[in-house]
Structure 1
């Protein structure tokens, strides 16, 4: 199917395009044209902006669902809930748990994806843990922490039918460097997180192939002028991406802007959202931990932040407002940078000929009006 999109503006990688029509054909973007052939099919979004579909590479759940529930209906529920938020791609993310529950979560995602997701599409599984250390454990269960084991990972990879694309660990654990090299050589993105590692240890991990830092500033050794720690490594090492939760609670706005200036397009906007996202204040579970959400902030019983309830598009709004940088620059930190971190930038993440036609229709206040996956409108605001 071929159609032409009419809109006030299009957010491209380096510019805002106006006054043309965007071709969409067979689920992919084409070129811009200034005039239309006779009898063309037009998707008229006059008054609105067309932006690339968002890609959340770190999300545990939303709308009452959690990947660790280990059920296919939960995965489908997350997929569909994300559409109204402009998210077209995501990485279903696990938590540290016992092996049985992790196996079940992996199987549920794999089975759900194999039957086809109706909403946002999974680009692979993200194992957040279980190879962490206790000091910066956050809402991860220390009872299941252990040293990385390549045989165990390969069992999970086999169970997932080769769809695990990202794994987080603490690089100070015994055997980590060999594990990082082995997993990275298999095309899996290794992330550094929930760690008390030194700056030198983190640099060694990046040398071995790690290329991402989990939710920068949170769950890691802090920045000090004589020992930069994991935070310093995440800020300084331009070989690696760094995730950032821009909800105003996990990271102070001025520090978020500092990270943006330092990392630039190596910054990844994520949500780390858990099941309380889109839900009212109340009591929830994050894995095995009771969590209380008050005023949209989720915390464990001990007061630690427990993931977030952030919507990715709100993270964009926040960082754009805090920094004053252009919307197109900030938007692509939640679309193109995530795709690049996983080596998918040639097919996802921006509006460009031959890329997959994932896009979002937004108004001037960045309220989502419609979301398209592979050129097909999957969500449309009811009052349109």
Structure 2
């Protein structure tokens, strides 16, 4: 079946088109036309609205009361069914520091659910832990911290049916080089996070193959003019990507501006680090084994430390624009194409291109989400 999406503006990765028609065929993007085509069987009229790529969240723990570490098919299904309401059509199911056995079970469950075709697409797994250090533990439980282990990664990747796309570590461990070598062999991107490493330790890990920084500025040694730390590494080392949580709680707009000035919009990606309270009201929740209070848009432990977020990716996009840090086009790319490229899934999601699955969002000019489509079918409608 061939159908058309009529809208005022279309945000492709490298250009903005419209008004016109985005043509879909059998659930995939076909082409763009400035005129209505006769062979189109159905026209979805979104005149006055803008169309962008489905958003890609490569760092998200939970949503709508469920968490990946619940390690049940029902929990993972709840997350993936809820995400289209946030503009997300693809994501990496993200684990939290736990025992080797618990993480193994979570990986197996995600792999099981990923085979089903409904809701936001599980494009892989992000292992956020347990290869961290206590100095910048954040809401990660140090009781389960271990040194980076190629053997453990092998075990988890087997249980995950090769779905692990990204794994984080603190690079000050002596085992870092061996782990990165094994990760590269498994096509797993290595990210640096929850670390007290020096600039030189971070640079060495990047030289060995690490290519990402986890929620830049948070959970890492800070920038000092005589020891640039991991923040300095994230801001200066080329051929890497920097995650950022643009919720106004984790990082100030000025710090994000400094990061973008140091790098650029093509190497900085928006993530949510959302926990189970995402999509729900303020109140008391849990993250791993820790109680968390969600109040006024922030999730915190009893000691005041941030514990993930309740940020929705569509709102991170709007925040960057409202803070006058980027254009709409740039913010959308940071939450889609750049995110997908950072973990090598940009061949299947993150942009509107011919032959790709027709995953896209419909927005007002004020960036309010109106609808989310997956494979050309509506998955969320306001």
Partner of 2:250: 250
CA distance in 1, matches of 2:349, 2:192: 24
The normalised TM-score by structure 1 is 0.96
Q: Deviations over 1:22-59 (max 9, x none)?
A: 11112221221224115632121112111100000000
Q: CA deviation at 1:324?
A: 4.5
Partner of 1:181: 181
Q: Deviations over 1:331-382 (max 9, x none)?
A: 110000011112222332111222221100111222221111122222222x
Q: CA deviation at 1:163?
A: 0.7
CA distance in 2, matches of 1:324, 1:154: 41
- Between 1:284-293 and 1:28-37, the stretch displaced more is 28-37
What does residue range 219-238 of structure 1 map to in structure 2 within 5 Å?
219-238=219-238
For structure 2, the residue ranges without an aligned partner over 5 or more in a row are none
Mapped contact 1:257–1:322 kept (Cα < 8 A): no
1:48/1:207 CA distance change after superposition, 3 Å: same
Query: What is the SS of the residue equivalent to 1:275?
Result: coil
Query: What is the SS of the residue equivalent to 2:19?
Result: coil
Q: Deviations over 1:220-274 (max 9, x none)?
A: 0000111111111011112110000001111011111111222211001000000
CA distance in 1, matches of 2:281, 2:341: 34
Query: What is the SS of the residue equivalent to 1:79?
Result: helix
- Between 1:368-377 and 1:30-39, the stretch displaced more is 30-39
CA distance in 2, matches of 1:58, 1:340: 14
What does residue range 117-196 of structure 1 map to in structure 2 within 5 Å?
117-196=117-196
CA distance in 1, matches of 2:222, 2:294: 26
Mapped contact 1:283–1:292 kept (Cα < 8 A): yes
CA distance in 1, matches of 2:191, 2:27: 32
CA distance in 2, matches of 1:208, 1:121: 31
Partner of 1:6: 6
Partner of 2:240: 240
1:305 is the counterpart of 2:306:
yes
Query: What is the SS of the residue equivalent to 1:112?
Result: helix
Partner of 1:356: 357
Query: What is the SS of the residue equivalent to 1:126?
Result: strand
Could you say what the CA RMSD is over the residues aligned between the two structures, in angstroms?
A: 1.3
Partner of 1:62: 63
CA distance in 2, matches of 1:315, 1:263: 19
Mapped contact 1:257–1:319 kept (Cα < 8 A): no
CA distance in 2, matches of 1:293, 1:325: 28
- Between 1:254-263 and 1:67-76, the stretch displaced more is 254-263
CA distance in 1, matches of 2:358, 2:68: 27
CA distance in 1, matches of 2:119, 2:53: 15
Mapped contact 1:14–1:329 kept (Cα < 8 A): no
Q: CA deviation at 1:323?
A: 2.8
Partner of 1:198: 198
- Between 1:3-12 and 1:345-354, the stretch displaced more is 345-354
